[in-house]
Chains A and B, each alone.
Chain A
C-alpha cells in the first residue's frame, strides 16, 4: 500500500521540538493525570543512557561527485547488552563521525555503526574495544527491551539536561497502528501517544521507557497537535534478534496491494457474501513473497499464518487489537520464515505456502532511499548520467515538478512497464556541464536514456560499457524524450573529460559505479 500521502512530522533537530512554557502542560495535565507533578518530572540520572553526537554529510544528489555541507545531530542512545548502543537509523544516516558521551561527566568516545536498517529506522553502535572503552561503559548498565506495552499504558520519554540530569515527559499510548517510518516502503508498527514533549538539545533519538525498560524510541513529534509517534519495542526486538544471528535479513514483506471490501456494492460485484471476511488483492509485485507463494491479483485474502483478515485488511492482534495485516509479516515474521496464506479464488478456499523474502532497495527500478553512499553516475564529455532515485525526485519542490521531473516522478510511481522491458535502473541525462563537446545540449536534462551506440541501457554499467563501442568516433545517445537523439564526438568528449577532472567543477572522478 502506498502511504506517501501521509505526512510525517519528523523530528529533524532541536528546533522542531518547541520550547514549552511551564504553564501550558499544567492545564493539560490537570485534567488528564491525577498524580505526579504537573511539569516534566526530573530525576537525578539514568545509567543506561548515553548521549550520541553524530556528524552527517550526504552526497550531493545533483552534483554527485561532491558532498553537501556537514551537519550535526544529537540524540540519546540506549545502552544494550554487550556495550552496544541503540539509536534511530536517521541519527546515523550519512554519518562521517559518531561519538558517545556520558551525560553527566561529559566523557567522550568515538563509535561506529555495527548494524543499521533505514527502513526500520534503527541502528546499533559500538566502540572499538579498548581500556578506554571499558572505562567508558564501566558505570553503564544495559537496559532491557520490553515488548509488552499496550494501548492505555503510561510511558516516559527521556531527555537529559545540560549537566546530565534526566528529564521525563509522561505520555499515554493512545493508538497502535502501522505507518511508514522515514523512508519509502511499507508500514511498520508504531505507538501513538498524546502529550507535550519538552524541548531539549538532543532530539534525534529519544528513548521511551516504562518501569526502567525500553518500550520504544521517539519517531516523530508533531508539536501543533501534540502527537508523538514511537518506534515500538516489537520492531526493536525484531531488529536486535536479526542482528544477533550474524546475518541480517531485514524486515520481510509480501509484495502486494490490498483493497478493502467494506463497500457493499463492490462486495456483491466480487461475489463476496455479506458477512464474509477478506480483502481484495489488487496487485502482486513481481518477485515478491506473495507472487512466489502463488498469490494472484483478484484473490480474496482471508488469513495469514492462522490470523483471519477482515474486510478492512486488519487482523485481531492479541496485544494491540485491530491492526493492519502487514504487521503479521513485517513485524511478526523474519526473512526465510514459512508463511501460510489463505485466499478465496473462484469461490473456493485455497491455501498458499511460501517463504518470506525482503525486497532490497536495489531491487527497485527507482532506488527508494540512499544513505552512506554516493549516487551512481557517469560523466561523459560534460553530459551527466544518473540512475533515478526517490531522493533525487524529492529534492525538487512541489512547484518545480512540471515537465521532466513530473514525467520522471510518474515513472517512479509506475515502474512496471520499464521493469518488463528488462530495465534494472532508469538511466537519465540529469545535467549538462558546459563543455565544447556538449555544445548545444546545455538546456537538456531529465531525459531517459534508451540506447547508447545501439546498445540498450538497463543500468549505468551498461552505459559505461556502451561508451566503449562508438562507431566512426561518434557516440550516439538515444533518449526517450525530446530531442530523442544526441551525438558526442568521442575524441573531444575524452578531452573534455580530462579537462573536467582538473577544471573548475572540481570533479575527482568521472564515474561512480560501485
Chain B
C-alpha cells in the first residue's frame, strides 16, 4: 500500500509507513592520536526506509563507524540487528539489511519519484529528536543546486533544499511528494546560521548509487579532475578565440592523474560535453535545468566515456574521455569505517597525512599545513601520494633529543623516499647501517637513532606506553 497523498491524515496503524524505520547505531570513533587504541564508544540514531526486499536505504553518516546497528519500526518495539551491505561516503548513502529479513517481507517498499519542482509541497518523515515515534514535517522545495556534502566535506553533488524542518535523527529518512520518495533528508544548518534550510539527496544521486552497486561493489564517483575558469573577460574571450558566442569555459587547472590529465591543458576551452554546449560560466542545460557541467560526469560510472569538444589555440578538437575516480582528494575529506594506520618504532609514531589526522592532532607545523592545504593545488600528490607524518615521539632515553620534531613530514628513512606508510616499513627493515636515519621535509637536521639502542628501547616503549601492536598497515 502506497502512502496516501501528503495532505491527508495518516493512520500509522495502517502500516503505510511501517517501511520507514528507526536505525539505532552503536559507534566506535577511531582514535587518530593513539591509533593503537580501539577508539571512543558512542552512539546515535537515524532513519532509513525499505526500498526492496530486506534493503533499507539510509545515510552513510548514520551508520559510519558502526559496531552494532538495530532497526525498529514504528509499530513494533522489537529491535532487529542489521548490517551494512554497501556504503558510499562520497554521496552519504548506505544500504543496510536486517540479519533476519523475514519480519519485513510483508512490507511494501517505497517507490521513487523524480526531481520535484520549486515551491511544491514535500513531507519529511523520520525519527528526529523530540520523541520516540515517527514524525512528519512539511514544507516546500526551496532550491535545487550543486552543494558540498558535509559528510566528507570534499564532495559536491546535486542537493535539494526544503523548508520542512529537518532535525538530527531525520537523517536517512525519506522526503516524499505524492506518495513517492523524492529525496533522502541528510543535512541542514544549525538554527544559529540559517532558518528552515534543510537538504535532501535527490533521486538522481540515489539512483546512481543503486546502479553503481548493482555489480556488488561500490566504485565511487568519477571526476574530470579539471577546474574551470569562466570566460567573462572580453580580452580573454578574444585571446582564447571564443569571441561573442558565450559558449565555452576555460580550463584553469588539470590534475595530471585525473581522467583528462593527458588530454586537456590549461588554457583549453571546453565547448561541449556529450553534445551539451557548455556556457562561458561552466553551466549546461541538462534535463531542462541549468546545471554545473560536472553534473553530466556525475551520472556516469567508472569506465564510462564522455565526448568532449574543446578548443586549443583557436582549433576545435574532439576527444573521448574514459572516466575514472580521482583518488588523491579523498584524504582531504573525512574518512570513516577505517582503522587508523600507523607504525611505531622506538617511540616514533608514523601516520599517513589525512583530514582525520589533521583534526585529531591539531597540527600547527607550517610544512604539514602547507602540504595538506596544497596537496592538490600544488600537485604534491604526484611525488608523495601518501605523505607520512611523524605525529608523536613517545619520550624515552633513546629519543629524548628528538621529541621536538613531532609533527613533521617524513621525507626519507635510511635512504628510502617515503611516499606512503608502507615505505616506512620497508625503509625501517633496511639494516645495513648502524644508524636509523630519518630525513624530515624542510627541517634542517636528520633524526638519528643508533640501531641497537633503538631496538632495545622499542620493546620497552611498547610495554611502557601500553601499545599492543607496533603497526597497523591496513587489510592487505
Contacts and interface: CB of A to CB of B under 8 A. Distances in A.
A407 interface: yes
B235 A492 contact: yes
A383 to B, nearest CB: 11
Interface stretch (A84-92, A360-368, A408-416, A457-465): A408-416
Contacts of A317: none
A263 B401 contact: yes
Given A265-B450, A280-B445, A484-B266, A410 B233 contact: no
A45 interface: no
A407 B445 contact: no
Given A265-B453, A266-B448, A482-B229, A487 B373 contact: no
Contact of A269 (B231, B232, B437, B444): B437
A140 to B, nearest CB: 49
A406 B370 contact: yes
Given A266-B401, A414-B442, A486 B366 contact: no
Which of A283, A476, A485 has most B Cβ within 10 Å? A485
B444 A257 contact: yes
A411 to B, nearest CB: 10
A439 B448 contact: no
A246 interface: no
Contact of A439 (B234, B238, B367, B378): B234
Interface in B335-374: 366-367, 369-370, 373-374
Given A402-B373, A482-B227, A487 B366 contact: no
Given A259-B445, A269-B435, A410-B370, A474 B227 contact: no
Interface of B, secondary structure class, is mixed
Q: Looking at chain A, what size class is its interface with the partner chain?
A: 35 or more
Nearest to A269: B448
Contact of A282 (B234, B250, B445): B445
A482 B377 contact: yes
B4 interface: no
A488 B373 contact: no
Contacts of B378: 407
A403 B235 contact: no
A437 interface: yes
Contact of A484 (B252, B437, B449): B252
B328 interface: no
A403 B401 contact: no
Interface in B423-457: 435, 437, 442, 444-445, 448-450, 453
B230 interface: yes
B233 A282 contact: no
B324 to A, nearest CB: 22
B267 interface: yes
B34 interface: no
A413 B366 contact: yes
B239 interface: yes
Interface string B218-257: 0000000001011111111011100000000010110000
A446 to B, nearest CB: 11
A247 B136 CA distance: 84
Given A265-B435, A439-B233, A474-B239, A283 B444 contact: yes
A60 to B, nearest CB: 27
A485 B267 contact: yes
Given A474-B238, A474-B239, A440 B231 contact: yes
Contacts of A262: 401
A483 B235 contact: no
A359 to B, nearest CB: 18
B234 A476 contact: no
A269 B450 CA distance: 8
Interface string A473-512: 0111000011111111100100000000000000000000
Given A483-B250, A484-B266, A440 B374 contact: no
A483 B377 contact: no
A439 B444 contact: no
Given A265-B449, A474-B239, A485 B377 contact: no
Given A262-B401, A265-B453, A266-B401, A483 B229 contact: yes
A407 B379 CA distance: 13
B374 A406 contact: yes
A441 interface: yes
Nearest to B454: A265
Contacts of B366: 409-410, 413
A349 interface: no
B379 to A, nearest CB: 11
A268 interface: yes
Contacts of A263: 401-402, 448
A375 B227 CA distance: 33
Nearest to A441: B233
A410 B372 CA distance: 12
A301 interface: no
Given A439-B233, A482-B227, A483-B229, A407 B370 contact: yes
Nearest to A442: B232
Given A268-B450, A406-B374, A487 B445 contact: no
A282 B444 contact: yes
A438 interface: yes
Interface in B362-401: 366-367, 369-370, 373-374, 377-378, 398, 401
Which of B229, B266, B398, B437 has most A Cβ within 10 Å? B229
A481 B370 CA distance: 15
Interface string A247-287: 00000000001010011011011000000000010110000
Interface of B: 227, 229-236, 238-240, 250, 252-253, 266-267, 366-367, 369-370, 373-374, 377-378, 398, 401-402, 435, 437, 442, 444-445, 448-450, 453
Given A280-B445, A440-B232, 10 more contacts: A259-B444, A263-B402, A265-B398, A269-B437, A282-B444, A402-B373, A406-B374, A483-B229, A486-B233, A489-B235
14 contacts: A257-B444, A265-B448, A266-B445, A414-B442, A440-B230, A441-B233, A474-B235, A474-B238, A474-B239, A476-B239, A484-B252, A487-B233, A487-B240, A492-B235
Closest 10 pairs between A and B when the two form their complex, measured CB to CB? A440-B232, A483-B252, A263-B401, A483-B229, A489-B235, A282-B444, A440-B233, A487-B235, A487-B239, A269-B448
